Amino acid sequence: MAAHSTDIGVKASPRSASASHLPSQPFDTKRRWILLFMLCAITVVNFIDRQTVAVLAPVIKQAFHLSNGAYGRIVAAFQFGMMSGELPMGWLMDRVGCQLGLFAAVCWWSAATGSQAFVRSGAQLGATFYWMGTGECGNYSGGMKSIFQMFGRSERTLAIGIFNSGSVVGSVVAPPFIVYLAEHYGFRAAFLVPALLGALWAIGWWLLYRGPERPKDGVGTQAVPLRTILRESSAWAVMLCRFFIGPVIQFYWYWLPSYLFSVEHLSLKGVGAMSWIPFFLGSGGGIAGGWAAGWLHKRGVTTFNVRRITMFASSALCLASCIVPFVASIWVSLIVMSIAIFGHNFVSANMYGAITDLFPEAAVGRATGLSGVAGGLSGLLFPLLTGILVDRISYTPVFLLAAAMPITGTILLFVLGKRENFNKAAAA
């Protein structure tokens, strides 16, 4: 990766070039797949944590006397926490490595999740949700850097798809799991159990992870200053791409239970019984996106064209969101949502893959963090806008926006990312 790395200030050497494309020596085949499974598992827990507030939204709104706008502000607080934590977490992963970095991040956000069991107002819930966000963003910067180190280019997008599929599994598991805990032990118990799962995972990760040694040739965090990364058009390409793509799935995570409760008039049990269906049916999108990218790579398609084919095709599927408000049957509505979520997971796997295409190992954590800052900003603004639109108009304009945003982000990625930047990375 010498030629590409030189572009953003990384010292070129045969050792650093090979390390950027091949799994590092400590990761034998069995270990790297076990660790990938663990990364998927903590992503499941991560999304159970953040889905707890969404699934319990009808109960929480009633208990704390919250409007849709107030609920939107609580979701925005989480997104602001994500945005605030992205760069520190990215720096942490690049600086101290993924063993300590992910251990610290998971412990931090699990403590925040557990504290939500003791809140007494919407303001307190928003504060703890913000705290949780500052740690949960480390899941992606740490996971992406770990995958970069463990997998070569032809396997990397599939690995990212498997890792990111944990978000869908978490979204599928969360509604029935959280409703069960709330109905049998009270809604506050639904915060404590996921927090305990996170703490147990952190112990397992610390014991099992064995990463590569810190390089001795100067390749590292100090070799790629943040200002140098920001001067690259590729940085703005991935930031704007995630700005538009990220909030779409977040809208489904945080607002689908409320939509089913208020528009489709389901009970809390009904929400728990049905809100997981679109996430389950759309769950294969991430793995399909990774498999498709790997299949194209192995047949000699250039990196630029691999991303262009996979991302434009899957963004087209996301347009299904615009149909949701206009169908009368709840079952048809759920199927249409499933198509949109499948497309979103497909495009997301390749969006994250594009980050590993455009940046060397020494910068992947912070490049992911920068994209997360952009995603956090839009994730902060979009819930606020959603709350206003739902209170004053309806869910219809929100679904229309959700349909258009992935294709917009994809266009910006390729306009700013440029063919030569992708192909330069592949040739290095």
Residue with the bigger pLDDT between 210 and 40: it is 40
What pLDDT sits at residue 2?
Answer: 36
Q: Residue range 150-156: average pLDDT?
A: 76
Q: Range with the lowest mean pLDDT among 187-201, 223-237, 386-400?
A: 223-237
What pLDDT sits at residue 300?
Answer: 82
What pLDDT sits at residue 217?
Answer: 36
What pLDDT sits at residue 201?
Answer: 95
Query: DSSP assignment, residue 222?
Result: G
**The two structure tokens encoding residue 16:** 């650093």
Residue 359 scores a pLDDT above 60: yes
Q: Residue range 365-383: average pLDDT?
A: 80
Residue 19 scores a pLDDT above 50: no
Residue 62 scores a pLDDT above 80: yes
Residues 6+ apart with CB under 8 A from 356: 144, 147, 148, 153, 156, 160, 364
What pLDDT sits at residue 423?
Answer: 57
Q: Is 64 helix (H, G, I), strand (E, B) or coil?
A: helix
Over residues 74-85, the pLDDT tens digits come to 878 887 888 888
Give the fold, CATH level 3, of 26-212+226-427. Answer: Growth Hormone; Chain: A; (1.20.1250)
What pLDDT sits at residue 369?
Answer: 78
pLDDT band at 134 (very low <50, low <70, confident <90, very high): very high
217, with CB counted inside 10 A (0-12, 13-18, 19+), is exposed
Sign of the C-alpha dihedral computed for residues 162, 166, 172 and 177 taken in this order: positive
pLDDT band at 211 (very low <50, low <70, confident <90, very high): low
Query: DSSP assignment, residue 56?
Result: T
Percent of the chain with pLDDT over 70: 85
Residue 94 scores a pLDDT above 60: yes
What pLDDT sits at residue 319?
Answer: 94
Q: Residue range 269-287: average pLDDT?
A: 79
Over residues 159-180, the pLDDT tens digits come to 887 887 787 788 778 888 888 8
Residue 200 scores a pLDDT above 80: yes
What pLDDT sits at residue 343?
Answer: 92
What pLDDT sits at residue 244?
Answer: 93
pLDDT band at 213 (very low <50, low <70, confident <90, very high): very low
Q: Residue range 366-376: average pLDDT?
A: 80
Residue with the bigger pLDDT between 5 and 379: it is 379
Q: Residue range 335-345: average pLDDT?
A: 91
Question: By the 8 A CB rule, do 291 and 162 touch?
Answer: no
pLDDT band at 356 (very low <50, low <70, confident <90, very high): confident
Residue 195 scores a pLDDT above 50: yes
Residue 1 scores a pLDDT above 70: no
What pLDDT sits at residue 403?
Answer: 93
Query: DSSP assignment, residue 212?
Result: P
CA distances from residue 328 to 138, 212, 237, 275, 325 in whole angstroms, order as listed: 40, 55, 39, 17, 8
What pLDDT sits at residue 215?
Answer: 38
What pLDDT sits at residue 39?
Answer: 93
Q: Domain spans of the chain?
A: 26-212+226-427
Rg (CA), the chain: 20
Residue 203 scores a pLDDT above 90: yes
Spatial separation of the C-alpha atoms in residues 125 and 123, rounded to whole Å = 5
What pLDDT sits at residue 407?
Answer: 93
CA distances from residue 276 to 48, 178, 245, 289 in whole angstroms, order as listed: 12, 11, 21, 21
Spatial separation of the C-alpha atoms in residues 58 and 179, rounded to whole Å = 11
Q: Residue range 240-247: average pLDDT?
A: 90
